[in-house]
């Protein structure tokens, strides 16, 4: 759509102005479930950064080198999903084999994010916005970092809340987390206008 | 049009096959850890397929670790000590206290066997077996508690301590699409080794209780594993206080059978709590135990007797009766079985009366 944008600009925009979590509200379920502690959030976030970057590049290649020449664009949903699933599975096996520390920190989260809609979302947006390979890389990496930033911020807030806020009983857990996410999204709207990806 | 369609389907199948092949290959090469030796309690050596969770690998060798969630890391029951297992994963941390983490306790469903492991499990788990059985009889004890008698087929007998429980396997049916395990105490006499009795109370929408109350018929095949648990009568000559409510009757009844065989001379008081007359059961059996055990007394108490119950016995909650009946705790041991609420209240009361915690044994229905 905007071919003159450099991949670094796309990366910046994906973190701040077009944060996949806070503007598109994708990847919500693991965001709500795992954002209780900063340490686990960091592990999950790092796994998301890695998988998003790798799968957006992989899916870019599959889409433009395989699906487009064969006029199979309509199949991108199912193809993207199975590419992501297979990639994550293999990466998990490799990590488990290579390093126990890395597996403990990152590997156990991989099965969780196979079905994370933000990962698929990134691949689909990259097609809609007609990114080049470099832009797709920047977008995948940026979205991952943006997701990581959002979940870290949320985990920090939730840890503080758990220690000192008196949350009304009916709002405990997912309720208050969604409200906080909404306020965070409002804050991120402040970045709007710096770069526009759409 | 048709060719385009066929090409699309063909390419899609090819991509799928390729990725599936890739995963099978990865599983067979990267994910293949060969055979791995597991040393059990320092004396038994098992050779298991590497790469599997420890819980599943042990099950294949008929070593059953208690687990209620089927290996998803959500019940925290399948703990065991691993000498060389490394640090626990973050999926295990919620279930492990700092002391347990320091001692090398792990959830066996999360730990994959990739290198030789030395593990320690409680000795009594090694006598745990998988049993195939048949429903010999079903009987209504009250309007919501059923007595289920199971005849053992393979293996044909079971050895358990009175008070222990088994895990009953509910096959997939309308309410659940995978096998579910629920724990029930054995109510029958441990000497009667070819059959066990369970007392199962109906819980609305409970997966297992609905199955037992609405679907199970005489003659049906069933499966369970066990025995588990350290709720059993301790050897001593102290007086005994039993407190139970509802289907908490089961383990106490097994203990009474055992005591009757041994002609146990310990002074024993059994307080059984229920709401109304219709919640009481096995009164005849308890009177029979009173005849066979001269120092045994059974006190049923109703917390809300119905007007037409004609109840002349004790009234109030079990804690009220404990308050009235138990004055001297210096030579007392208490065995409690029932709802967490009842148990917590009794434990508090008994502690207040000066009974040390290590002489209070209980089995909480979770």
What ipTM is given for this predicted complex? Answer: 0.77
Q: What SS3 class is residue A103?
A: helix
Average pLDDT score, chain B: 91
According to CATH, the superfamily of the domain at B128-228 is Translation factors (2.40.30.10)
Tell whether B22 lies on the interface with A, counting CB pairs under 8 A. yes
* A107 or B134: which leads in pLDDT: B134
The CA R_g of chain A, rounded to the nearest whole Å, is 17
B40-95 pLDDT, tens per residue? 998 889 999 888 899 989 988 888 888 767 677 777 889 999 998 888 887 788 88
CA atoms lying within 13 Å on the CB side of residue B344: 5
3-state SS assignment for residue B282: coil
In the CATH scheme, what is the code of domain B35-125? Answer: 3.10.20.30
pLDDT of residue A79: 93
**Interface contacts (A, B; CB < 8 Å):** 53
Task: Map tokens 């049916």 to a residue.
Answer: B173
pLDDT tens-place string over residues A60-104: 999 999 999 988 898 999 999 999 999 998 888 888 888 878 888
B8 touches chain A (CB under 8 A): yes
For chain A, domain boundaries: 7-25+36-186
pLDDT, position A3: 58
- Residue of B7, B30, B89 with shortest CB distance to A108: B89
Residue B179's pLDDT band (boundaries 50, 70, 90)? confident
- CB under 8 Å, gap of 24 or more: what pairs does B322-330 form? B322/B241, B322/B243, B322/B271, B322/B346, B322/B349, B322/B350, B323/B349, B325/B269, B325/B271, B325/B299, B326/B241, B326/B269, B326/B350, B326/B353, B329/B353, B329/B354, B329/B355, B330/B354
In angstroms, rounded to a whole number, what is the distance separating the alpha carbons of residues B73 and B67?
9
Tokens of A49: 């950064």
Give the residue among B269, B242, B248 at the shortest CA–CA distance from B364.
B248
pLDDT of residue A180: 93
Confidence at residue B147, expressed as pLDDT on a 0 to 100 scale: 95
Residue of B nearest to A83 (CA): B19
> What region, left, alpha or beta, does residue B262 occupy, with left being phi > 0 and alpha being psi -120 to 50 degrees?
alpha
Residue the block writes with tokens 């079990």: B318
Does B114 contact A75 at a Cβ distance shorter than 8 Å? no
Query: What pLDDT does residue B175 have?
Result: 84
Closest CA in chain A for residue B24: A90
Query: What's the predicted TM-score (pTM) here?
Result: 0.59
Q: Quickly name the fold that domain B239-364 has.
A: Rossmann fold (3.40.50)
Q: What is the mean pLDDT of chain A?
A: 88
Residue B187 and residue B253 in contact, taking contact as beta carbons nearer than 8 Å = yes
pLDDT interval class at B100 (50, 70, 90):
very high
ω into B155 cis (within 30 of 0): yes
Report the pLDDT averaged over residues B255-279. Answer: 94
Residues in CB range of B214: below 8 A, 6 or more apart? none
Q: Under a CB-based contact definition with an 8 Å cutoff, are residues B200 and B145 in contact?
A: yes
Predicted confidence (pLDDT) at residue B227 exceeds the cutoff of 60: yes
What residue ranges do the domains of chain B occupy? 35-125, 128-228, 239-364
| Better pLDDT: B46 or A106 | B46
Phi-psi region of B160 (alpha: psi -120 to 50; beta: other; left: phi over 0): beta
Tokens 């193809």 belong to A79
């Amino acid at each position: 759509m905007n071919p003159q944008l450099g991949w670094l600009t796309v990366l910046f925009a994906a973190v701040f102005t077009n944060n996949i979590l806070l503007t598109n509200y994708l990847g919500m379920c693991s965001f709500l479930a795992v954002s209780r502690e900063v340490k686990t959030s960091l592990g999950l976030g790092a796994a998301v950064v890695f998988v998003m970057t790798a799968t957006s590049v992989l899916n870019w290649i599959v889409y433009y080198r395989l699906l487009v020449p064969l006029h199979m664009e309509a199949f991108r949903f199912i193809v993207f999903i199975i590419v992501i699933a297979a990639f994550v599975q293999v990466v998990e096996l490799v990590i488990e084999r290579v390093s126990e520390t890395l597996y403990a920190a990152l590997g156990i989260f991989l099965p969780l994010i196979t079905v994370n809609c933000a990962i698929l979302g990134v691949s689909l947006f990259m097609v809609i916005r007609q990114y080049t390979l470099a832009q797709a890389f920047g977008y995948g990496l940026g979205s991952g970092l943006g997701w990581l930033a959002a979940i870290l911020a949320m985990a920090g807030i939730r840890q503080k809340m758990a220690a000192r806020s008196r949350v009304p009983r009916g709002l405990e857990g997912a309720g208050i987390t969604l409200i906080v996410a909404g306020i965070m999204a409002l804050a991120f709207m402040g970045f709007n206008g710096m770069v526009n990806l759409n | 049009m048709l060719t385009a369609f066929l090409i699309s389907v063909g390419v899609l199948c090819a991509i799928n096959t390729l990725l599936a092949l890739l995963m099978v290959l990865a599983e067979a090469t990267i994910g293949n850890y060969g055979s791995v030796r597991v040393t059990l309690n320092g004396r038994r050596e098992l050779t298991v397929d590497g790469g599997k969770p420890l819980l599943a690998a042990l099950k294949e060798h008929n070593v059953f670790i208690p687990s209620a969630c089927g290996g998803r890391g959500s019940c925290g029951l399948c703990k065991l000590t691993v000498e060389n297992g490394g640090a626990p994963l973050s999926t295990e941390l919620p279930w492990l206290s700092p002391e347990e983490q320091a001692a090398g306790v792990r959830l066996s469903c999360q730990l994959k066997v990739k290198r030789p492991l030395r593990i320690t499990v409680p000795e009594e788990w090694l006598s745990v077996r998988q049993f195939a059985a048949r429903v010999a009889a079903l009987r209504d004890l009250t309007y919501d508690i059923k007595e289920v008698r199971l005849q053992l087929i393979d293996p044909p007998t079971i050895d358990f301590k009175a008070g222990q429980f088994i895990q009953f396997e509910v096959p997939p049916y309308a309410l659940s699409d995978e096998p579910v395990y629920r724990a029930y105490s054995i109510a029958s006499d441990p000497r009667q080794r070819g059959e066990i009795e369970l007392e199962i109370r109906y819980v609305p929408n409970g997966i297992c209780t609905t199955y037992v109350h609405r679907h199970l018929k005489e003659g049906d095949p069933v499966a369970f594993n066990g025995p588990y648990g350290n709720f059993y009568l301790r050897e001593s000559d102290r007086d005994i206080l039993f407190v139970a409510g509802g289907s908490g009757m089961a383990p106490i009844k097994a203990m009474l059978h055992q005591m009757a065989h041994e002609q146990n001379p310990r002074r024993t008081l059994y307080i059984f709590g229920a709401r109304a007359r219709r919640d009481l059961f096995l009164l005849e059996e308890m009177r029979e135990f009173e005849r066979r055990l001269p120092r045994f007394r059974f006190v049923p108490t109703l917390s809300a007797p119905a007007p037409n119950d004609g109840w002349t016995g004790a009234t109030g909650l079990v804690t009220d009766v404990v308050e009235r009946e138990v004055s001297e705790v210096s030579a007392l041991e208490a065995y409690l079985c029932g709802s967490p609420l009842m148990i917590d209240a009794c434990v508090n009361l008994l502690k207040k009366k000066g009974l040390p915690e290590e002489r209070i044994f209980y089995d909480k229905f979770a």
